[in-house]
């Protein structure tokens, strides 16, 4: 039985995935590093430190630890600047209705985002109160595609992983959900998310009965 839905944040609940892209792009330009949307696709769902490593590696560059720390902090400042424009109007179409429908039917709701800015983003979107659990990204040892963050969400919700469904926009996130033994719904392009049990183009296409049907089809 479907008992809980575990949401990714960036690129699912709101389009902050675009803000992450713009912030990395700004940093990369300043550092004279190549960075495009194809490379950005690999950063989705990945923590800040690892993201920088991927950009450096793609450019055949290495750097001292202190330098890397400064760059990560700078990228985060750029990201926070972009977050200043974030209001409840930026909640992706369909998300609020889905959260309300899940709540009304007693389905538990959790957030499993790799972002340390996730609590701030939820506050700005005025969505915090819908979440029974918000996993602390700083406390997760192994990032997506490792299942740890989704397993932690299920544990904190006190729901068996087999009764959870996860929603993600990143390939690493879908892999994490599947590795956790959960049903995976992808938001975006079917070609980028081949491992998902269901892929929708936008959150607007989802409602409880669609999630139930997907869940029952897999289980
Ligand atoms: C994920 C994003 O949700 O969070 C990544 O998809 C981002 O792009 C990661 O790097 C970490 O976010 P933050 O806000 O802690 O730098
Ligand atoms: Mg995401």
Convert the pLDDT of each residue in 21-66 to its tens digit: 999 999 999 999 999 999 999 999 999 999 999 999 999 999 999 9
Active site (annotated) includes residue 189: no
Active site (annotated) includes residue 8: yes
- Pairing between strand 133-134 and 108-111? parallel
Pocket test residue of 71, 115, 174 for ligand 1, highest count of atoms within 8 A of CB: 115
Q: What is the mean pLDDT of the chain?
A: 97
Q: Give the pLDDT confidence of 58-79 residue by residue, as tens digits.
A: 999 999 999 999 999 999 999 9
Q: What is the mean pLDDT of residues 75-89?
A: 98
Pocket test residue of 37, 46, 73, 173 for ligand 1, highest count of atoms within 8 A of CB: 46
Residue tagged active-site, from 8, 15, 36, 146? 8
Q: What is the mean pLDDT of residues 188-217?
A: 97
**What local confidence, expressed as pLDDT, does residue 57 receive?**
98
Atom 8 of ligand 1 has which residue's CA nearest to it?
44
**What local confidence, expressed as pLDDT, does residue 88 receive?**
98
Binned at pLDDT 50, 70 and 90, residue 168 comes out as: very high
Residue 174: in which H helix or E strand, if any? helix 171-179
Using only C-alpha atoms, what is the Rg of the chain?
A: 17
Q: What is the mean pLDDT of residues 78-94?
A: 98
Q: Give the pLDDT confidence of 93-145 residue by residue, as tens digits.
A: 999 999 999 999 999 999 999 999 999 999 999 999 999 999 999 999 999 99
pTM of this structure: 0.96
How far apart (Å, rounded) are the C-alpha atoms in residues 109 and 88?
A: 19
Q: Give 191 Cα–ligand 1 centroid separation in angstroms.
A: 22
Question: Does the structure show a pLDDT above 90 at 219?
Answer: no
What is the CB < 6 Å shell around ligand 1? Answer: 9-10, 17, 20, 43-48, 51, 76, 113-117
21 Cβ neighbours under 8 A, 6+ residues apart: 37, 40, 43
Report which bound ligand comes closest to the CA of 187: 2
For the CA of 76, the closest atom of ligand 1 is 16
For the CA of 8, the closest atom of ligand 1 is 3
How far apart (Å, rounded) are the C-alpha atoms in residues 141 and 111?
A: 16
Pocket test residue of 6, 9, 10, 37 for ligand 1, highest count of atoms within 8 A of CB: 10
How far apart (Å, rounded) are the C-alpha atoms in residues 130 and 18?
A: 24
């Amino acid at each position: 039985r479907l008992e809980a839905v575990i949401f990714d944040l960036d690129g699912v609940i709101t389009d902050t995935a675009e803000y992450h892209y713009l912030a990395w792009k700004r940093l990369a330009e300043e550092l004279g590093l190549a960075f495009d949307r194809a490379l950005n696709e690999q950063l989705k769902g990945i923590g800040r430190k690892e993201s920088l490593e991927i950009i450096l590696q793609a450019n055949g560059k290495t750097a001292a630890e202190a330098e890397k720390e400064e760059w990560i902090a700078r990228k985060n400042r750029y990201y926070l600047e972009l977050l200043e424009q974030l209001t409840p109007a930026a909640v992706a179409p369909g998300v609020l209705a889905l959260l309300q429908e899940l709540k009304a039917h007693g389905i538990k709701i959790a957030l499993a985002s790799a972002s340390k800015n996730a609590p701030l983003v939820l506050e700005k979107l005025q969505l915090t109160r819908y979440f029974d659990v918000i996993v602390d990204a700083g406390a997760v040892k192994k990032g997506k595609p490792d299942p740890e963050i989704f397993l932690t969400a299920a544990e904190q919700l006190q729901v068996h992983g087999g009764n959870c469904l996860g929603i993600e926009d990143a390939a690493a996130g879908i892999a994490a959900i599947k590795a956790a033994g959960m049903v995976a719904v992808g938001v975006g392009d079917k070609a980028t998310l081949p491992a998902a049990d269901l892929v929708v183009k936008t959150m607007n296409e989802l409602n409880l009965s669609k999630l139930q049907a997907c869940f029952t089809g897999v289980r």
